[in-house]
Amino acid sequence: MPVNESTVEKAAIFNESYDRVSKYATDDMFAPYFNPADSGIVFLPGEPVLRQWGASGEEEVQLVQDIIRPGQWGMLRRYWQADFDADFSANVIIGGEVMWDLDNDVVSLAGDVTNGFIIGRATIALPSKAAIERAGTVDDNDRLIVATDASTKVRVMSMNPIAVTTKGTVTIY
Protein backbone atom coordinates (compact mmCIF):
# COMPACT_ATOMS: atom_id res chain seq x y z
CA MET A 1 0.00 0.00 0.00
CA PRO A 2 1.50 3.38 -0.99
CA VAL A 3 2.23 5.80 1.87
CA ASN A 4 2.81 9.52 1.74
CA GLU A 5 6.54 10.12 2.32
CA SER A 6 5.93 13.02 4.72
CA THR A 7 4.16 10.69 7.17
CA VAL A 8 7.10 8.27 7.48
CA GLU A 9 9.69 9.12 10.13
CA LYS A 10 13.40 8.70 9.45
CA ALA A 11 15.74 7.31 12.08
CA ALA A 12 17.97 10.29 12.84
CA ILE A 13 20.64 8.20 14.57
CA PHE A 14 21.41 6.16 11.43
CA ASN A 15 20.87 8.83 8.78
CA GLU A 16 22.68 11.83 10.13
CA SER A 17 23.66 14.51 7.64
CA TYR A 18 27.38 14.13 6.80
CA ASP A 19 29.64 13.77 3.79
CA ARG A 20 30.56 10.30 2.60
CA VAL A 21 34.24 9.34 2.63
CA SER A 22 33.72 6.94 -0.29
CA LYS A 23 31.03 5.14 -2.18
CA TYR A 24 31.28 1.34 -2.35
CA ALA A 25 31.71 0.15 -5.93
CA THR A 26 32.59 -3.57 -5.73
CA ASP A 27 34.86 -6.05 -4.00
CA ASP A 28 38.38 -6.90 -5.18
CA MET A 29 37.37 -10.06 -7.06
CA PHE A 30 37.84 -8.46 -10.49
CA ALA A 31 40.56 -6.23 -11.90
CA PRO A 32 40.31 -4.30 -15.19
CA TYR A 33 42.78 -5.12 -17.96
CA PHE A 34 43.41 -3.30 -21.24
CA ASN A 35 44.65 -5.45 -24.12
CA PRO A 36 46.78 -3.11 -26.27
CA ALA A 37 45.54 -2.70 -29.83
CA ASP A 38 48.90 -3.82 -31.24
CA SER A 39 49.21 -6.92 -29.00
CA GLY A 40 47.98 -9.39 -31.63
CA ILE A 41 46.68 -11.51 -28.73
CA VAL A 42 43.13 -12.51 -27.86
CA PHE A 43 42.61 -13.54 -24.23
CA LEU A 44 40.05 -16.33 -23.94
CA PRO A 45 37.49 -16.84 -21.12
CA GLY A 46 39.01 -18.89 -18.30
CA GLU A 47 42.58 -18.42 -19.54
CA PRO A 48 45.15 -17.95 -16.77
CA VAL A 49 47.26 -14.82 -17.20
CA LEU A 50 50.43 -13.92 -15.35
CA ARG A 51 50.08 -10.22 -14.68
CA GLN A 52 52.19 -7.48 -13.12
CA TRP A 53 50.25 -6.17 -10.17
CA GLY A 54 51.14 -3.22 -7.98
CA ALA A 55 53.80 -0.54 -8.14
CA SER A 56 56.63 -2.99 -7.51
CA GLY A 57 55.54 -5.17 -10.46
CA GLU A 58 54.64 -8.20 -8.36
CA GLU A 59 53.29 -11.07 -10.42
CA GLU A 60 49.80 -12.41 -9.88
CA VAL A 61 47.93 -15.19 -11.68
CA GLN A 62 44.54 -13.89 -12.78
CA LEU A 63 41.81 -15.58 -14.81
CA VAL A 64 40.19 -13.96 -17.87
CA GLN A 65 36.47 -13.35 -17.20
CA ASP A 66 35.35 -12.99 -20.83
CA ILE A 67 37.10 -12.65 -24.19
CA ILE A 68 39.41 -9.61 -24.40
CA ARG A 69 40.32 -8.67 -27.96
CA PRO A 70 43.14 -6.28 -28.94
CA GLY A 71 42.18 -2.69 -28.19
CA GLN A 72 39.52 -3.69 -25.65
CA TRP A 73 39.06 -3.55 -21.89
CA GLY A 74 38.12 -6.67 -19.98
CA MET A 75 38.06 -8.06 -16.49
CA LEU A 76 40.40 -10.55 -14.84
CA ARG A 77 39.44 -12.54 -11.75
CA ARG A 78 41.94 -12.22 -8.90
CA TYR A 79 40.57 -14.96 -6.63
CA TRP A 80 39.15 -18.08 -8.21
CA GLN A 81 38.71 -21.83 -8.39
CA ALA A 82 38.48 -23.34 -11.86
CA ASP A 83 38.50 -26.73 -13.57
CA PHE A 84 41.28 -27.19 -16.14
CA ASP A 85 42.41 -29.85 -18.57
CA ALA A 86 45.26 -31.75 -16.96
CA ASP A 87 48.19 -34.00 -17.81
CA PHE A 88 49.97 -35.44 -14.77
CA SER A 89 52.83 -37.92 -14.56
CA ALA A 90 52.12 -38.78 -10.90
CA ASN A 91 49.59 -38.35 -8.09
CA VAL A 92 48.68 -34.83 -7.05
CA ILE A 93 48.01 -34.20 -3.36
CA ILE A 94 45.41 -31.67 -2.23
CA GLY A 95 47.09 -28.27 -1.87
CA GLY A 96 49.99 -29.22 -4.13
CA GLU A 97 51.28 -26.47 -6.43
CA VAL A 98 50.60 -27.08 -10.10
CA MET A 99 51.80 -25.29 -13.24
CA TRP A 100 50.12 -23.95 -16.35
CA ASP A 101 51.87 -25.53 -19.34
CA LEU A 102 51.88 -22.82 -22.02
CA ASP A 103 52.96 -25.24 -24.74
CA ASN A 104 50.08 -27.69 -24.18
CA ASP A 105 47.39 -25.54 -22.49
CA VAL A 106 47.04 -27.95 -19.56
CA VAL A 107 47.81 -28.04 -15.86
CA SER A 108 50.79 -30.26 -15.02
CA LEU A 109 53.36 -30.93 -12.33
CA ALA A 110 56.39 -28.61 -12.32
CA GLY A 111 58.73 -31.41 -13.39
CA ASP A 112 56.68 -31.98 -16.56
CA VAL A 113 56.62 -28.34 -17.72
CA THR A 114 59.36 -26.62 -19.73
CA ASN A 115 57.41 -23.43 -20.51
CA GLY A 116 54.89 -22.20 -17.95
CA PHE A 117 54.17 -20.84 -14.50
CA ILE A 118 52.75 -21.88 -11.14
CA ILE A 119 49.01 -21.37 -11.53
CA GLY A 120 47.75 -22.33 -8.07
CA ARG A 121 47.03 -25.28 -5.78
CA ALA A 122 45.21 -28.47 -6.73
CA THR A 123 42.00 -29.10 -4.83
CA ILE A 124 38.91 -31.24 -5.15
CA ALA A 125 35.50 -30.50 -6.59
CA LEU A 126 32.94 -31.73 -4.08
CA PRO A 127 29.41 -32.49 -5.25
CA SER A 128 26.77 -29.94 -4.25
CA LYS A 129 25.25 -32.46 -1.84
CA ALA A 130 28.38 -33.19 0.16
CA ALA A 131 27.08 -36.17 2.14
CA ILE A 132 30.44 -37.84 1.65
CA GLU A 133 32.49 -39.52 4.34
CA ARG A 134 35.69 -39.48 2.29
CA ALA A 135 36.06 -37.89 -1.13
CA GLY A 136 38.62 -39.98 -2.95
CA THR A 137 41.72 -41.95 -2.07
CA VAL A 138 44.65 -41.10 0.15
CA ASP A 139 48.38 -41.75 -0.10
CA ASP A 140 50.58 -43.57 2.43
CA ASN A 141 50.68 -40.41 4.58
CA ASP A 142 46.87 -40.14 4.66
CA ARG A 143 46.89 -37.12 2.33
CA LEU A 144 44.03 -36.76 -0.14
CA ILE A 145 44.92 -37.50 -3.78
CA VAL A 146 42.99 -35.10 -6.05
CA ALA A 147 44.44 -36.23 -9.40
CA THR A 148 46.48 -39.10 -10.84
CA ASP A 149 48.35 -39.83 -14.07
CA ALA A 150 44.97 -40.92 -15.51
CA SER A 151 43.20 -37.64 -14.65
CA THR A 152 42.15 -35.42 -17.54
CA LYS A 153 40.75 -32.58 -15.37
CA VAL A 154 41.77 -30.93 -12.12
CA ARG A 155 40.31 -28.17 -9.98
CA VAL A 156 42.80 -25.43 -9.14
CA MET A 157 42.46 -22.59 -6.62
CA SER A 158 44.33 -19.33 -6.88
CA MET A 159 46.96 -18.53 -4.29
CA ASN A 160 47.40 -14.79 -4.60
CA PRO A 161 49.55 -13.16 -3.49
CA ILE A 162 52.55 -15.42 -3.97
CA ALA A 163 55.95 -15.30 -5.61
CA VAL A 164 55.19 -16.96 -8.95
CA THR A 165 57.69 -19.50 -10.26
CA THR A 166 58.15 -19.48 -14.04
CA LYS A 167 59.94 -21.75 -16.50
CA GLY A 168 60.93 -21.10 -20.09
CA THR A 169 59.61 -18.08 -21.98
CA VAL A 170 56.68 -16.66 -20.06
CA THR A 171 55.11 -13.32 -20.96
CA ILE A 172 54.02 -11.24 -18.00
CA TYR A 173 51.22 -8.86 -18.94
Q: Which fold has domain 81-168?
A: Virus Head Decoration Protein; Chain: A, (2.40.300)
- pTM of the full predicted structure? 0.78
pLDDT of residue 131: 55
Which one, of 56, 48, 65, 67, lies nearest residue 159 by Cα?
48
Q: Is the dihedral of CA 156, 161, 164, 170 positive or negative?
A: positive
pLDDT confidence of residue 93: 94
Task: Show me where the domains of the chain are located.
Answer: 26-79, 81-168
Q: What is the 3-class SS of the chain, one letter each residue?
A: CCCCHHHCCCCCCCCCCCCCCCCCCCCCCEEEEEECCCCCCCECCCCEEEEEECCCCEEEEEEECCCECCCEEEEEECCCEEEEEECCCCCEECCCEEEEECCCCEEECHHHCCCEEEEEEEECCCCCCCCCCCCCEECCCCCEEEECCCCCEEEEECCCCCCCCEECCCCCC
Residue ranges in the chain modelled with pLDDT below 70: 1-6, 8-19, 127-136
